[in-house]
């Protein structure tokens, strides 16, 4: 028995507002400016009311958005910045709302010399190096949903972009990224670090949601130096376009499978 469930928490959340009915959702693991850019790229419009735990709406900084892909309704959640615990809560609640596909759009720090800033990446594996993921899995790694990764590979054949497949290590404490820690993670095969991929995949698998994290290398932690993040707009825009291409392919395949081409 779980003491708290999404059903219990969300039962009275919407009041007179419509409960979202989304086929898919995009989680934007970016700042306000990055999220605003992604929302513009996807044509997402603010809902104007609270949908998810802790995501309280302020008119100047909207969080819950909606847009259409064909006949499908898709949610976009901006500024998902709190790391593993928030990521797991959002996945649990979106799964309860009936979301079947999740696209994460974010950024990661490279810890590999051959992975420079600006590289567009897809997380195919992630180390369970954070606390949240251990509530969902006993494994040492989690992996991208195979159906979504197959969709990415199909889209790559006809789109002018390429994603580098990487293994991610999720970090809980950004100010404790020491050289000793980074070298240890690299020794386990990690090529990038960020704050959400592992719990995103772990929670999605338990909740029965297909998910993929797509993003770009925003900074580098290589050879005892840090190449910081700046001028990320073009990188973020490209990640958003890739995410939209993948989402369109997923929903197209779903329509075909349902006999509604």
| 64-95 pLDDT tens trace | 999 999 999 999 999 998 899 999 999 999 99
- Domain residue ranges of the chain, discontinuous segments joined by +: 20-256
Confidence (pLDDT) at 259: 53
CATH of domain 20-256: 3.40.50.1580
Is the pLDDT at 101 greater than 60? The verdict is: yes
- Closest by CA to 209, choosing from 125, 91, 122, is 91
Confidence (pLDDT) at 210: 96
Which pLDDT tens digit goes with each residue over 7-23?
999 999 999 999 999 99
Which pLDDT tens digit goes with each residue over 179-206?
999 999 999 999 999 999 999 999 999 9
The pLDDT > 90 percentage for the chain reads 93
Is the pLDDT at 98 greater than 60? The verdict is: yes
What's the average model confidence in pLDDT over 144-164?
Answer: 94
Which pLDDT tens digit goes with each residue over 28-52?
999 999 999 999 999 999 999 999 9
């Amino acid at each position: 028995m779980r003491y708290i469930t999404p059903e219990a928490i969300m039962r009275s959340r919407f009041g007179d507002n419509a409960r979202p009915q989304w086929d898919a959702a995009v989680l934007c693991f970016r700042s306000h400016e990055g999220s605003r850019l992604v929302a513009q790229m996807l044509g997402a419009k603010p809902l104007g009311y609270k949908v998810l735990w802790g995501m309280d709406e302020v008119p100047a900084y909207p969080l819950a958005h909606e847009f259409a892909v064909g006949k499908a309704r898709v949610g976009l959640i901006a500024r998902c910045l709190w790391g593993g615990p928030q990521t797991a809560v959002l996945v649990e609640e979106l799964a309860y709302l009936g979301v079947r596909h999740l696209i994460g759009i974010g950024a990661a720090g490279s810890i590999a010399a051959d992975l420079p800033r600006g590289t567009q990446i897809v997380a195919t594996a992630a180390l369970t190096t954070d606390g949240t993921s251990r509530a969902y899995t006993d494994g040492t790694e989690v992996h991208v949903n195979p159906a979504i990764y197959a969709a990415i590979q199909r889209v790559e054949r006809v789109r002018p972009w390429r994603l580098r497949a990487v293994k991610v290590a999720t970090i809980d404490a950004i100010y404790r990224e020491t050289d000793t820690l980074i070298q240890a993670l690299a020794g386990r095969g990690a090529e990038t670090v960020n704050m959400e991929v592992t719990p995103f995949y772990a929670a999605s698998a338990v909740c029965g949601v297909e998910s993929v994290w797509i993003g770009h290398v925003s900074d580098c932690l290589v050879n005892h130096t840090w190449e910081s993040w700046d001028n990320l707009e073009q990188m973020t825009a490209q990640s958003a376009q890739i995410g939209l291409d993948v989402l369109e392919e997923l929903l197209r395949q779903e329509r075909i499978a349902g006999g509604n081409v």
